[in-house]
Amino acid sequence: MDKLQAQEKIDSLRTLLNSYAHEYYVLDKPSVPDSEYDEKLAELRQLEEQFPDLITTDSPTQRVGGEPLEGFQKVQHSIPMLSLGNAFNEQDLRDFARRASQGTSKPLAFVCELKIDGLAISLTYEDGKFVRGATRGDGTTGEDITSNLRTIKSIPLSIKEKRKIEVRGEAYMPHKSFLALNKLREENGEELFANPRNAAAGSLRQLDPKIAASRNLDVFLYGIGEWQGDPVSSHSERLTQLKELGFRTNPEWKKCESVEEVLEYVEYWTRERPNLPYEIDGIVIKVDDLDTQEDLGFTVKSPRWAIAYKFPAEEVVTKLLDIELSVGRTGVITPTAILNPVKVAGTTVQRASLHNEDLIRAKDIRIGDTVVIKKAGDIIPEVVRVIPEKREEDVLEFHMPTECPACGSELVRLEEEVALRCINPSCPAQLQEGLVHFVSRNAMNIDGLGEKVINQLFQEGLIHTIADIYRLERDELLKLERMGEKSVDNLLKAIDASRENSLERLLFGLGIRFIGAKAAKTLATEFETIDKLQQATYDELVAVDEIGEKMADSIVQYFSEQEVTDLIQELKELQVNMEYKGPKRSEIVADGSSIFAGKTIVLTGKMEQMSRPEAKERIEALGGTVTGSVSKKTDIVIAGEDAGSKYDKAIKLGITIWDEEQFMRMLEQEGGVA
């Protein structure tokens, strides 16, 4: 292929891939399975490697993040990015509407939008290309974070509008990404993010774009700055225009003809906000007509034609009864507040993580204190503050131990970590946590080996390493309390069945630092056998999509340990499978012939004929994607017995629902039933 032919092919692939990305990340309506997108992206990457001078900034291959920056450049906003005035109650909203109506003779209509709790951003396009992204900063001067914003897949790198335009919106971190990030940080002894907003802001202010790329951020666009595109007469038309240009806009906005409709919208989303997959902290209300906006003008700090209604934070008071310590499987010591049970944001809270000693000291938290509790980001129970005037004389000051509560080894604080960590590889708490993780549902999925049974076996000296699980014998199990013949036989069958698991389950179960279930699947698909993965170099690992530098370092370090080599050999001798059994991505149905190909599917309720993890594997093998929550992009909900809120939401959204019998019939048609 000569250079001219390569350019034509590259242009064609970029156009196709950008279209696929728009369908998936903006419209929530993918037209092809992930496997087809991945194949086209690999083809484009190969061509760009052969012809590097043809690489452009708007290529889909450039989203992964470039080299780390030395610092952020300042950006002057030609039109200031002003903040909004706040409303806190119904009267504030009525006063806003009254003031707006007094400033114009025209009848007023309003647009209500969800106030996304993230980081305000500006995106500039010239000649159809994304050329600059910036933070709001102080409203006049922001920071150039183009490299980080380029990694967000819902931001188009090119658009059809060739005139210069600047669009504005909010970058945010979805709940799912936030929980996964904090879980990883806690396992690694790193300070946790307090809420999704801080996590999003922290991610976009990383000098290494690869960090932002790993955080799974998203955006909603809702306004403009400098604009040379076609004019419109209302804000509602502007939102439609932005969507037509390919930008991701929030679909929940509504045009309201009266303040009463505005109040109804506010009341609805105050009630429904816990069901959103992202965080909102209020409602933005804007006068719809743009000429009227201009007539109303601005105060020094904010527009007179818009206001932000802020949700009241739900905080409750309870008593902190005790502080318990737990040792994670990576050795991190985590203090947890034990609370007098109290209801917060719809659920009863009895425990709240205190994260580390620094937080306890900063908030002066003592055992016996009366404390204020809330859910950080409406998700994680958090001790907000102590009420000092209610402190009694018998409260106890808490001190973190200098020795591990499980094994007595000296605790250490590794460089750049805020958490204390036990680094004894023989620590019984870590060993037990590692065993519990190994047998868990997303790992080796050994039914009957729950946490209590693992602890019992460990205390009796029957298991010490994961290899010991496969050496358990019937006679020794029958001697244990609450172990009858039937339960022992079932347990041994489950252990024996786990020997045949595909490689990705074993990899995840081994508990390699930074390697979650998704990364384990990626590695298993790429290397196919544990031997090939053990021999993989750092460079070979980072060349794999979705495997970052920290992951690669961790994998190389893990397999360099002699005890790991010995463990793998033991497991081989115990006939534990070491190969990937799933279909290669190139073999997954990609031509749409499978009813599951390219579909987003949610499983809910109890299934009788197979477990939900088994159902997930079958669906993915046929090109489908299984997610945990129902949204507008969900294609099918498979409902077993006692299906609850997901079933109700599917009905509300008009999503196709199958019962288990219909699902099994479809699997049989596709050849997906063993």
* DSSP-derived secondary structure letter, 82: P
Q: What is the CA radius of gyration of the chain?
A: 28
**Class of CATH domain 428-573:** mainly alpha
Length of the chain: 674
- Per DSSP, the residues of 335-350 read EEEEEEEEEETTEEEE
Structure tokens at 292: 């009227």
Q: What is the pLDDT of residue 586?
A: 44
Q: Is 652 a catalytic residue?
A: no
Residue 302 in contact with residue 82, Cβ under 8 Å?
A: yes
CA 374 to chain centre: 21
- Per DSSP, the residues of 24-40 read IIISS--SS-HHHHHHH
Q: What is the pLDDT of residue 589?
A: 43
Q: What is the dihedral of CA 306, 312, 313, 318, to 10 degrees?
A: 170
Task: Find, among 491, 536, 484, the residue nearest to 515 by Cα.
Answer: 536
Query: What is the third-level CATH fold of 3-64?
Result: Helix Hairpins (1.10.287)
Catalytic residue among 3, 29, 115, 632: 115
Task: Find, among 115, 116, 204, the residue nearest to 152 by Cα.
Answer: 204
- How many Å apart are CA 343 and CA 301, to the nearest integer? 38
Q: What is the pLDDT of residue 465?
A: 92
Task: Please state which CATH number belongs to domain 588-670.
Answer: 3.40.50.10190
- How many Å apart are CA 447 and CA 439, to the nearest integer? 8
For residue 401, CA distances in Å to 113, 272, 362, 408, 432 come to 49, 43, 18, 10, 21
pLDDT tens across 271-300, in order? 888 889 998 989 999 999 999 999 998 876
Residue 580 in contact with residue 502, Cβ under 8 Å?
A: yes
pTM of the predicted structure, to 2 decimals: 0.51
**Class of CATH domain 316-397:** mainly beta
- Per-domain boundaries in the chain: 3-64, 85-310, 316-397, 428-573, 588-670
- How many Å apart are CA 130 and CA 156, to the nearest integer? 7
Low-confidence ranges of the chain (pLDDT < 70): 25, 28, 34-35, 64-70, 189, 300, 313, 345-346, 376-379, 416, 545, 583-593, 670-674
- How many Å apart are CA 571 and CA 556, to the nearest integer? 20
Write down the CATH superfamily of domain 85-310: DNA ligase/mRNA capping enzyme (3.30.470.30)
* DSSP-derived secondary structure letter, 579: B
Report the sign of the C-alpha dihedral through residues 286, 287, 289, 294, in that order.
Answer: negative
CA 466 to chain centre: 30
pLDDT tens across 179-210, in order? 889 888 877 767 778 788 888 988 898 888 88
- How many Å apart are CA 623 and CA 645, to the nearest integer? 26
